[in-house]
Amino acid sequence: MTGNGNILIVDDEPNAVKVLSSILSDEGYDVRESLDVDGAVDIILNNDIDAVITDLKMPGRDGMQFFEYVTKNHPDIPVIFLTAYGTVESAVSAMTRGAFYYFIKPPDYPRLKGILARAVEQRCLKREIDNIKNELLKGNNSYRIIGSTSQISDILEICEAVKDSESNVLVSGETGTGKELIALNIHYRSKRYKKPFIAVNCAAIPGELIESELFGHEKGAFTGAASRRIGKFEEASDGTVFLDEIGELGLPLQAKLLRVLQEREIERLGSNKNIKVNFRLITSTNRDLKKEIIEGNFREDLFYRINVVQIDVPPLRERRDDIPLLVTDFLREFCVKANKTISISKEAMDIFMKYSWPGNIRHLRNVIERTVVLARGKKIAAADLPEELIDYKENIKTPVIANTLKELEFHAIKKALDASNGNKSRAAKILGISRKAFYKRLRDYRLI
């Protein structure tokens, strides 16, 4: 697209075409001209047209027949009628059948330019949504890292350098910063991209089941083992195993994992047969593993085995310049899913930029999804945002002497998580509440 957009003018009066073409060209539009419908159809077939301005009455096929052709074959191109033979009936007919606007000659040119700008914007937005849909269908966005800050540039450089290496990678960072996305980026841009990417959330699987999950088991290996099961390391043959939150593994399993990494072979539970495995290992953690080693919770030899290359992912509050990019991308994604066209107001974006985002990118994404689903208008205003963001905005504008109970609770939870290095069971004990109650509060504050 050149300039502000590609416009097609269709009119059998050469002077009318010349005048309008000159006006729109001065506005920065790339203008195509046709004196009849047949020529207009040929132009549309061979050019990427963003909007059409057409006369109604013309020799041969008229403007309404041309409009029907465009509606049927190029439904995303907005059509504006401009005619000297306008009637209320013809205007109503055109608008009810989907025309973008209807002008009587001579038009109010400032108004025409404003309507045309809206039409082109709508066309471009629809094109962009179609592109996003195609990306979603292809799955190309599943490993796309969004950001332009120096921190993200450094991470992308490391990902590029290690993608085809056999070296183990440890990705560290707070919950919700996108650690799995980095693992996906490395895998799908590597020579292993056609092979499986197997992710295991070590924090979500009960300790008594994680060993079977990783290594598999034979029939009858334990109560409930009704059949043989292939473990994740076998399942990932020639691909990548991503162990998310590896710091949650108990010491006995850490020892077994170390052996697998050294020998590249596993034993299914209930079997004494060694099975060779080939995989690339990427792990992640939200804990300080060096501190865990000192406290006796993590094996030092395993740490050095998994930490050949370390990637530190910064929290969102330390890369605020990436927030507009992330907001735009999430907004597009959820508008496609909800079949809506929504933009964001400057005031709402200012709140996004100033908010601390305790749940990081996952928190931001959830807020955008919720806002799009509930939105009734075409633009997200500050009042449409969740309560915690609006409260945060008000507290910035007017400093408060005493925090609300909700704020105190939120900060207490954050401090407990920091004190326990992200261990939720320990954090719950620090706060003196049950694990179930703690998880409920984490969900309430969008920390998980």
Average pLDDT over residues 345-374: 93
pLDDT of residue 8: 93
> Is residue 183 included in any domain, yes or no?
yes
pLDDT at residue 340 greater than cutoff 90: no
pLDDT of residue 437: 76
pLDDT of residue 396: 47
Residue type, 237: S
The CATH number assigned to the domain holding 165 equals 3.40.50.300
Task: Mark whether 266 and 330 lie in a shared domain.
Answer: no
The CATH number assigned to the domain holding 390 equals 1.10.8.60
Task: Mark whether 344 and 357 lie in a shared domain.
Answer: yes
Task: Mark whether 340 and 285 lie in a shared domain.
Answer: no
Element (H, E) at 181: helix 179-188
The band of 402, judged by pLDDT with boundaries at 50, 70 and 90, is: very low
Which tens digit of pLDDT belongs to each residue from 90-106?
666 777 778 888 888 88
Distance CA 104, CA 57 (A): 12
The band of 131, judged by pLDDT with boundaries at 50, 70 and 90, is: low
> Is residue 146 included in any domain, yes or no?
no
pLDDT at residue 302 greater than cutoff 60: yes
pLDDT at residue 141 greater than cutoff 70: no
The SS3 assignment for 115 reads helix
> Which letter does DSSP use for residue 194 in this model?
T
Task: Mark whether 111 and 230 lie in a shared domain.
Answer: no
- The domain boundary, picked from 253, 278, 313, lies at 313
Mean pLDDT of the chain: 86
Share of the chain above pLDDT 70, in %: 90
Task: Mark whether 279 and 417 lie in a shared domain.
Answer: no
pLDDT of residue 282: 98
Task: Mark whether 76 and 192 lie in a shared domain.
Answer: no
pLDDT of residue 351: 93
Query: Which residues span the domain enclosing 325?
Result: 316-401
Of residues 393 and 419, the one with the higher pLDDT is: 419
- The domain boundary, picked from 86, 104, 137, lies at 137
User: 258-286: b or e for each residue (b if 16 or more CB lie within 10 Å)?
Assistant: bebeeeeebbbbeeeeeeebebbbbbbbb
Query: What is the domain count for the chain?
Result: 4
> Is residue 72 included in any domain, yes or no?
yes
Average pLDDT over residues 296-310: 97
Give the number of C-alpha atoms closer than 13 A to the C-alpha of residue 376, restricted to the C-beta side.
2
The CATH number assigned to the domain holding 423 equals 1.10.10.60
The beta-strand segments (E) located in 13-153 are 30-34, 51-54, 79-83, 101-104
The band of 377, judged by pLDDT with boundaries at 50, 70 and 90, is: confident
The CATH number assigned to the domain holding 117 equals 3.40.50.2300
Share of the chain above pLDDT 90, in %: 48
> Is residue 1 included in any domain, yes or no?
no
Task: Mark whether 32 and 117 lie in a shared domain.
Answer: yes
> Is residue 148 included in any domain, yes or no?
no
> Is residue 147 included in any domain, yes or no?
no
> Is residue 444 included in any domain, yes or no?
yes
Task: Mark whether 159 and 277 lie in a shared domain.
Answer: yes
Average pLDDT over residues 425-437: 78
Highest mean pLDDT among 104-118, 160-174, 383-397, 418-432: 160-174
Average pLDDT over residues 246-260: 95
Asked if 163 and 183 count as a contact pair (C-beta separation under 8 A), the reply is no
The band of 168, judged by pLDDT with boundaries at 50, 70 and 90, is: very high
pLDDT at residue 32 greater than cutoff 50: yes
- The domain boundary, picked from 366, 382, 401, lies at 401
Task: Mark whether 214 and 281 lie in a shared domain.
Answer: yes
pLDDT of residue 172: 97
Cis peptide before 314 (omega within 30 of 0): no
Task: Mark whether 209 and 304 lie in a shared domain.
Answer: yes
Distance CA 91, CA 113 (A): 19
pLDDT at residue 1 greater than cutoff 60: no
Asked if 158 and 309 count as a contact pair (C-beta separation under 8 A), the reply is yes
> Is residue 326 included in any domain, yes or no?
yes
> Which letter does DSSP use for residue 195 in this model?
S
pLDDT of residue 132: 55
Of residues 141 and 358, the one with the higher pLDDT is: 358
Task: Mark whether 159 and 286 lie in a shared domain.
Answer: yes
Task: Mark whether 118 and 245 lie in a shared domain.
Answer: no
